[in-house]
Structure formats: C-alpha cells, structure tokens
Amino acid sequence: MTTVAFEKSTVREYFESIVVAVVLALFIRTFVVQAFKIPTGSMEPNLLVGDHLLVNKFVFAPNASALERALLPMRPIVRGDVVVFKFPEDPERDFIKRIIGLPGETIEVRGTQVLVNGTAIAQPFAHFLLPHDPNAPLIPGDPREHFGPYTVPADHYFAMGDNRDNSQDSRYWGALPAHYVKGRALMIYWSFDDAPAGGGAGQILSGTRWSRLLHQIH
C-alpha cells in the first residue's frame, strides 16, 4: 500500500507542477510579455526584418488600481515609445510603430520634418530612403511629405514608422485607438537573417545576427 500511495503522490506532484507551469506561461503570455517578430522594413534600420522582440504588455496596463500604479513599474505612453498594437484596419494583425503624437496634439508633416503643435521635434530615429532636398517643392497629396495639420483625438495616438519613406502608418490610416495598444517593445532576444544559403543548424548559426541579441529598443 505504501508503494501505491507513493506512486500516486508522485504522479500527482508531476501533474500539479505541469498545471502550474502552464497557468504561469499563459499568465505571462497574456498579461506580462509577448514575443513578436518584425515582418516588414517599416522600422528600419532600428528594427530589421527577422528581429524577434519581447513586448512588455504590463507597462501600459489600463485597468490598474492606484495602488498597483504606485508599486509596480507602470506609466502612460509617451512620445518616442515603440509599441506593438492591433492594426486599426484589421485588428487580427499586429503592427509595430513609434508613438509621435499624443491625444489632443496637432501633427504636421512637412518634408522630413514633423511638427507637433507647430514646433518641429527632434527625430534621431527617423530614416529616409532617398536624400531630401529642403529646397524642393513638397509633393501635394503625398502624405510622406505633406500631411496635416491633424489633431489627434482623445484616447488616440499618432504612430509612424522610423523608415519614413516605406511605412504605412497614421499618415495613411489615421489615429491609433489607445485600447489597441498591446505593449511596449522591450528588447531583441534573437535576430535572424534568412538570406544565407543552406539549411539546418549551419544556416541558423550563419543567419543569426549575434550583435543584435539582447539589444534594448529605444
């Protein structure tokens, strides 16, 4: 009887451990962190196709109590945050962009400049595919060079890709609803370039961008 009881106890302990691990994994996946892969070049050169990110889903928690906000590392979204969100035109898809405009602000794009409430902001993260001549006339109707003025609605944000000439962003599909934001891009845990020929472990080793591993996203 002792042996049978021991076997049942051992099986139960394994089962409980597995259940706890699954519950914790689901909790972390749902509320704390999410993996995300960069699918396009809209954030280049800061984020590359094949970068695998960890997204902090906790930092912008909208329903936190005052006590939780005081004790835990939560904060509101600020300009410059790189966020993952549900694409407003297709909420089943996730996009990643940088927050440029906050609720109530007026946004304008004039050539390579972005003006917030009439003042040009610094954009060390912005990238342009072709050199822009500041003396060249702006192209009417092209939101890449001529957009706004546009006032961001309440509970919305204006998001743009760092690769300004190759990004479908708020210049095209409008403001981002606050409740569509899933979290802030935190760090690159792996980066893979599938261009190298071959297959198997050799391709994984040669395709891994080792210098980008554990790179924090700013």
Residues marked active site are found at 42, 97
User: Which amino acid, residue 126?
Assistant: A
Instruction: Give dist(CA 185, CA 167) in Å, integer.
Output: 18
Instruction: Give dist(CA 102, CA 57) in Å, integer.
Output: 19
Q: Is 21 helix (H, G, I), strand (E, B) or coil?
A: helix
Tokens (6 digits) for 86: 């549900």
Instruction: Give dist(CA 198, CA 35) in Å, integer.
Output: 26
> Which of these, 195, 192, 194, 197, lies nearest to 211 by C-alpha position?
192
Q: How far does the chain reach from its first CA to its final CA, in angstroms?
A: 61
Alpha helices, DSSP H only, in 32-143?
Answer: 66-71
Q: Are 173 and 150 in contact (CB under 8 A)?
A: no
Instruction: Give dist(CA 53, CA 211) in Å, integer.
Output: 14
